[in-house]
């Protein structure tokens, strides 16, 4: 007998993080997010238990799709497909037997748990009886400590659930519980990872991308749109602002000496992103900077750039190295898009070795020659807005 698609998915969340009086808020958001993430793929119902969220599936549901969708819901730590059976020993035994027949294993254990103590067999009796059956069926031995296969059994009030496989999810907190941030998202590897890490802490992210079109041809606008679509799978609704940066750059080139230009560009990006963020109700800005990665990301330059912000500037990758960031970007699914060639707008008219220590007094002198509020307002006014919703239509 081959194993059929599971009837239900049991999702476990991070108990510790969800403790306290806000617990119901977190759980409600988690349930909402699971509903949203699994819309249109044969999910019947989603509801919360005390320590888990349950998802019931139509018979037609494609387990691989369900699995992929649930694995992206922040707050979920692990999840297990499970099989519902009638409350009779024979029916339970049939399901246990089909799970055991589905795969090779040398050792196993049965872990029964009775939520309803009225069931005629105790958990211990179930473990022994079913264990004997599986031994005879497969020749495998019982190992209580470190089995290849752990067949778990939940005896509920009206039904029983049998399950054996558990899949990891990313943990974190449900998106929507942490407030809104505005992310400065380039088309590179780092800032999409920074976005993901903030979403994983429960934040909703509004994305702001600066492009130098038509100063440079280049795919950065398309890349930003593609990345926004990918990241949207984690937060279900996303707004992306594509901001024209060419005018600001031309003005900076005329005013600011080469070695200081990257920092000057970045200060403008921060100002524009903050103006957009304020409109969006964001509480912080986020960048993909990591300390010392490139010359513009020295502590001094970060300080000089961050200084023009009135909101906190969060840098979730600050202590990570490139290897770790690349690994995460592959895990998230943004890597392949991030490495597509494009022209980074900040390399325009910048010398090969820009200054690693630009102080604010140095740059402020040049900034006085520019009408900053007007330049920022023009950039914000010229921004194009793109919206993404999950699942994509
Ligand atoms: P990334 O991989 O995110 O591009 P990076 O290592 O290439 O980062 P920089 O190019 O120095 O680093 O950029 C530092 C940060 O500044 C980026 O992570 C991003 O937050 C922001 N940034 C840079 N260019 C842009 C842009 N064109 N639009 C929006 N934000 C940008
Ligand atoms: Mg970059």
Q: Does this model's pTM top 0.85?
A: yes
Per-residue confidence (pLDDT) for residue 349, from 0 to 100:
67
Burial class of residue 117, CB neighbours in 10 A (0-12, 13-18, 19+): exposed
The pLDDT of residue 1 is 42
Contact residues for 268 (Cβ-Cβ < 8 A; gap 6+):
245, 248, 252, 372, 375, 376, 379
Q: How far is the CA of 86 from the centre of ligand 2 (A)?
A: 57
The verdict on the CB of residue 342 being under 6 Å from ligand 1 is no
Q: Ligand 1 atom closest to Cα of 338? A: 2
As a whole number, mean pLDDT of residues 212-227 equals: 88
Q: Region 102-131: what's the mean pLDDT? A: 94
Q: Measured from the CB, is residue 269 less than 6 Å from ligand 1?
A: yes
CA of 225 to the centre of ligand 2 (A): 16
Q: What is the rounded average pLDDT of the residues 329-342?
A: 94
DSSP string, 309-329: -SS-EE-TTTT--HHHHHHHH
- The span from the CA of 361 to the CA of 367, in Å, is 10
What mean pLDDT is predicted for residues 192-217? 94
pLDDT in tens, 230-267: 999 999 999 999 999 999 999 999 999 999 999 999 99
For atom 13 of ligand 1, the residue with the nearest CA is 289
Q: How confident is the model at residue 348 (pLDDT cuts 50, 70, 90)?
A: low
Give the closest residue (by CA) to ligand 1 atom 22.
Answer: 186
Q: What is the pLDDT of residues 257-299, one digit of tens each?
A: 999 999 999 999 999 999 999 999 999 999 999 998 777 789 9
Q: Are strands 237-244 and 384-389 parallel, antiparallel or unpaired?
A: antiparallel
- Count CB atoms within 10 A of the CB of residue 168: 10
What are the pLDDT digits (tens) for 155-166? Answer: 988 889 999 999
Q: How far is the CA of 188 from the centre of ligand 2 (A)?
A: 5
Nearest of 285, 290, 291, 272 to residue 379 by alpha carbon: 272
Whole-number Å distance, alpha carbon 335 to ligand 2 midpoint, is 13
Closest C-alpha residue for ligand 1 atom 4: 188
Using the mean position of ligand 1's atoms as its centre, give its distance from the Cα of residue 186 in Å. Answer: 5
Ligand nearest to the CA of 262: 1
Hey, which of 181, 183, 188 would you mutate to test ligand 1's pocket, going by the most ligand atoms within 8 Å of its Cβ? 188
Which atom of ligand 1 lies nearest, measured to the CA of 224? 28
Q: Please report the pLDDT score of residue 217 as a whole number.
A: 75
Quick count: other Cβ atoms within 10 Å of Cβ 170? 17
Q: Decide whether any atom of ligand 1 lies within 6 Å of the 8 Cβ.
A: no
Q: Whose CA is nearest to atom 24 of ligand 1?
A: 186
How far apart, in whole angstroms, are the C-alpha atoms of residue 276 and residue 181? Answer: 11
Residue 3 has pLDDT above 70, yes or no: no
Judged by DSSP in three states, 10 sits in strand
The angle, 0 to 180 degrees and rounded to 10, between the axes of the packed helices 322-332 and 190-200 is: 70
**For the chain, which domains are there?**
8-168 (3.30.2130.30), 180-389 (3.40.50.620)
Index of the ligand 1 atom closest to the CA of residue 346: 24
Q: What is the mean pLDDT of the chain?
A: 93
Atom of ligand 1 nearest to the CA of 288: 18
Q: How many CB atoms lie within 10 A of CB 71?
A: 15
Q: Check residue 67 and give its pLDDT.
A: 95
pLDDT at 354 over 90: no
Give the closest residue (by CA) to ligand 1 atom 18.
288
Q: DSSP secondary-structure letter at 4?
A: P
How far apart are the C-alpha atoms of 60 and 74, rounded to whole Å? 25
In order of 205, 327, 363, 386, the CA distances from 294 in angstroms are 25, 19, 19, 30
């Amino acid at each position: 007998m081959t194993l059929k698609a599971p009837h239900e998915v049991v999702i476990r969340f991070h108990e510790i993080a969800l403790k306290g009086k806000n617990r119901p808020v977190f759980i409600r958001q988690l349930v909402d997010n699971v509903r949203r993430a699994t819309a249109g793929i044969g999910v019947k119902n989603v509801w919360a238990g005390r320590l888990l969220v349950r998802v019931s599936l139509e018979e037609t549901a494609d387990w691989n799709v369900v699995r992929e969708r649930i694995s992206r819901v922040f707050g979920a730590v692990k999840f297990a497909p499970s099989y519902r059976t009638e409350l009779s020993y024979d029916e339970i035994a049939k399901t246990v037997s089909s799970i055991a027949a589905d795969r090779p294993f040398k050792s196993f254990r049965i872990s029964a748990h009775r939520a309803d103590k009225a069931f005629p067999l105790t958990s211990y009796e179930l473990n022994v009886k079913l264990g004997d059956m599986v031994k005879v069926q497969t020749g495998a031995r019982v190992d209580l400590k470190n089995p290849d296969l752990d067949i778990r059994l939940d005896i509920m009030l009206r039904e029983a659930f049998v399950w054996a496989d558990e899949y990891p999810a990313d943990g974190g907190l449900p998106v929507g519980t942490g407030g809104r941030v505005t992310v400065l998202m380039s088309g590179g590897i780092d800032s999409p990872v920074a976005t993901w890490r903030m979403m994983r802490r429960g934040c909703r992210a509004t994305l702001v991308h600066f492009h130098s079109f038509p100063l440079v041809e280049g795919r950065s606008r398309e890349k930003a749109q593609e990345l926004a679509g990918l990241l949207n799978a984690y937060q279900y609704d996303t707004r992306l602002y594509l901001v024209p940066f060419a005018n600001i750059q031309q003005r900076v080139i005329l005013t600011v000496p080469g070695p200081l230009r990257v920092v000057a560009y970045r200060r403008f990006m921060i100002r524009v992103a903050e103006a957009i963020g304020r409109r969006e109700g964001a509480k912080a800005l986020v960048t993909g900077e990591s300390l010392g990665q490139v010359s513009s990301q020295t502590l001094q330059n970060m300080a000089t750039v961050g200084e023009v912000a009135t909101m906190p500037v969060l840098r979730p990758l600050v202590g990570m190295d490139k290897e770790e960031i690349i690994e995460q970007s592959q895990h998230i699914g943004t890597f392949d898009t991030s490495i597509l060639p494009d022209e980074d707008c900040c390399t325009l008219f910048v010398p090969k070795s820009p200054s690693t220590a630009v102080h604010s007094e140095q740059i402020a002198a040049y900034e006085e020659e520019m009408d900053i509020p007007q330049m920022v307002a023009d950039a914000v006014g010229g921004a194009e807005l793109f919206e993404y919703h999950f699942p994509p239509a």
